[in-house]
Amino acid sequence: MADKIKMTTPLVEMNGDEMTRVIWEMIKEILLEPYIELNTEYYDLSLENRNQTNDQITIDSARAAIKHGVAVKCATITPNAQRMQEYTLKEMWKSPNGTIRSIMDGTVFRAPIIVDGIEPLVRNWKKPIIIARHAYGDVYKNIEHSIEEGGRAEILVTEANGQTHKHLIHEFRNTAGIVQGQHNTDASIESFAMSCFSYALEIKYDLWFATKDTISKKYDHRFKDIFDDVFERHYKKLFENAGLEYFYTLIDDAVARVMRSEGGFIWACKNYDGDVMSDMVAAAFGSLGMMTSVLVSRGGAYEYEAAHGTVTRHYYKHLKGEETSTNSIATLYAWTGALYKRAELDRNHDLTIFALMLEKAAKATIESGIMTGDLYALSTLQKKEKVNTREFLIAVNEKLKELL
């Protein structure tokens, strides 16, 4: 075999938990280490290590991602009450993804991997629909209150100069009810807009954005205005030159158009819309195992990962020594995405080719009929075979050898 590919600059490697951690090692062993002298700065974000380091490891890994510009992350457990017991945790540590996202000040873009035989449920969808979710504020940072009958709810705003404004929300004369306060910030919306326009340019996709500005004349309208302003000031020329379009419409119109489209664009969504629509789009494109995600920081650093979690149910089977058939495609694409980005920044031609060939080999394997159980259940191929977690990666390696 030829010499292994060398890497001049390290890639930040964030390891994680459960079944995806098992897959992580298999990918490195079977598909990466035989071909590349992997140069990674390693951070172990397993729940045990986050607990041991009082979550400092997560913070350090995010800073490293900013420093080196490219990271690849394995899925991680976000602890809940049950995990507190299972892992005897000192604290209910926050979601690592939330921590990393806020340090990197980034936007998450979630994209489906499309292969022949796994047909989207929406039959006119031919190309990916990439959802960009604004992951700050609105209902996710709300204040809520249950109000008794006869109560009255108001908004009170105090300006920096002490001036106050009071707005009546509702008088609950004959019934009890509920109220909610929400906010967002210009800085966060602007950062979101910048990430969306930059990423659209980078991958040469049109950008769609939608809110309900006709009903929410100040709140949603501000989102629209900031996007317009950022576009006019920084991106209009660049989009023109690249032959790309920025398209704004109302959220309900956007939903209707998305259904009728053939895909091939980024759909920027407010926080709640992104939460809901990303699950709808993922389900319509097939399996969660075929959805990748990339966090793009305002400063241009990239963190790649699978959109799914640690696949706990499969991990418990694996621990009992039972066979698993877990889809490794999204985790594999996190690696190829990161390697490709690293290669681009370092002008490492061999690494670029390798990353592309590995993706091609993975797709070709599924299209040849070899796949994990989740895809087996969906595939329309006549001749198909369900293989276990390791067998799938070995089959990808056979294809890869043919391509290299």
Residues within the interface to ligand NAP (CB under 6 A): 75-78, 97, 288-289, 305, 308-313, 326-327, 374
Nearer to ligand NAP, 141 or 313 (CB): 313
Q: What is the largest CA-CA distance in the chain?
A: 81
Smallest separation (angstroms) from Mg ion to the CB of 80: 16
Instruction: Find which of ligand NAP, Mg ion, none residue 279 binds, CB within 5 to 8 Å per kind.
Output: Mg ion
Nearer to ligand NAP, 137 or 309 (CB): 309
Nearer to Mg ion, 275 or 367 (CB): 275
Distant-in-sequence, close-in-space partners of 366: CB < 8 Å, separation ≥ 6: 115, 117, 118, 329, 375, 379
Instruction: Find which of ligand NAP, Mg ion, none residue 346 binds, CB within 5 to 8 Å per kind.
Output: none
Smallest separation (angstroms) from ligand NAP to the CB of 393: 13
Smallest separation (angstroms) from ligand NAP to the CB of 228: 32
Radius of gyration of the chain from its Cα atoms, rounded to whole angstroms: 23
Nearer to Mg ion, 248 or 272 (CB): 272
Smallest separation (angstroms) from Mg ion to the CB of 375: 22
Instruction: Find which of Mg ion, ligand NAP, none residue 269 binds, CB within 5 to 8 Å per kind.
Output: none
Nearer to Mg ion, 266 or 277 (CB): 277
Instruction: Find which of Mg ion, ligand NAP, none residue 294 binds, CB within 5 to 8 Å per kind.
Output: none
Nearer to ligand NAP, 97 or 352 (CB): 97
> Which tokens is 190 given?
């602007």
Smallest separation (angstroms) from Mg ion to the CB of 275: 4
Residue the block writes with tokens 């640690």: 310
Smallest separation (angstroms) from ligand NAP to the CB of 33: 22
Distant-in-sequence, close-in-space partners of 12: CB < 8 Å, separation ≥ 6: 40, 41, 43, 61, 64, 65, 68, 70, 71, 72, 303
Nearer to Mg ion, 282 or 355 (CB): 282
Instruction: Find which of ligand NAP, Mg ion, none residue 183 binds, CB within 5 to 8 Å per kind.
Output: none
Instruction: Find which of ligand NAP, Mg ion, none residue 275 binds, CB within 5 to 8 Å per kind.
Output: Mg ion
Smallest separation (angstroms) from Mg ion to the CB of 276: 6
Instruction: Find which of ligand NAP, Mg ion, none residue 76 binds, CB within 5 to 8 Å per kind.
Output: ligand NAP
Smallest separation (angstroms) from ligand NAP to the CB of 62: 14
Q: Residue of minimal CB distance from ligand NAP?
A: 309
Nearer to Mg ion, 55 or 273 (CB): 273
**Residue 77 CB neighbours (<10 A):** 23
Single-letter amino acid code for the residue at 300: G
Residue 37: left if φ>0, alpha if ψ -120 to 50, beta else—which one?
A: beta
Contact residues: Mg ion, CB under 5 A:
275, 279
CA–CA gap between residue 300 and residue 308 (Å, rounded): 24
Nearer to ligand NAP, 191 or 326 (CB): 326
Instruction: Find which of ligand NAP, Mg ion, none residue 49 binds, CB within 5 to 8 Å per kind.
Output: none
Smallest separation (angstroms) from Mg ion to the CB of 234: 30
